[in-house]
């Protein structure tokens, strides 16, 4: 079985949504949209930048 490279954008997005969902389940009164939406956008941006950097490094190695 061939291994494929890790997709950082998908991994980061999945982890971000899982952490926010877990936080909402554990402490629902402290999680509101004023906090959740900016945190999700920042997390998606960071994981997108990491994926772009990794993709650029991978293409320069070839």
Total domains present in the chain: 1
pLDDT cut 70: percent of the chain above it: 95
Q: What is the mean pLDDT of residues 36-49?
A: 83
* Domain assignment present for 54: yes
On whether the CB atoms of residues 8 and 49 are closer than 8 A, the answer is no
Q: Identify the domain containing residue 47 by its residue range.
A: 31-62
Calculated CA dihedral for residues 22, 28, 31, 36, nearest 10 degrees: 40
31 pLDDT more than 80: no
61 pLDDT more than 70: no
pLDDT for the residue 60 = 77
10 pLDDT more than 80: yes
pLDDT for the residue 1 = 67
pTM for this entry: 0.63
* Domain assignment present for 26: no
């Amino acid at each position: 079985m061939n291994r494929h490279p890790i997709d950082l954008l998908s991994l980061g997005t999945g982890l971000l949504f899982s952490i926010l969902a877990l936080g909402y389940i554990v402490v629902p009164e402290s999680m509101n949209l004023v906090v959740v939406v900016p945190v999700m956008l920042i997390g998606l941006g960071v994981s997108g930048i990491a994926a772009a950097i990794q993709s650029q490094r991978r293409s320069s190695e070839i």
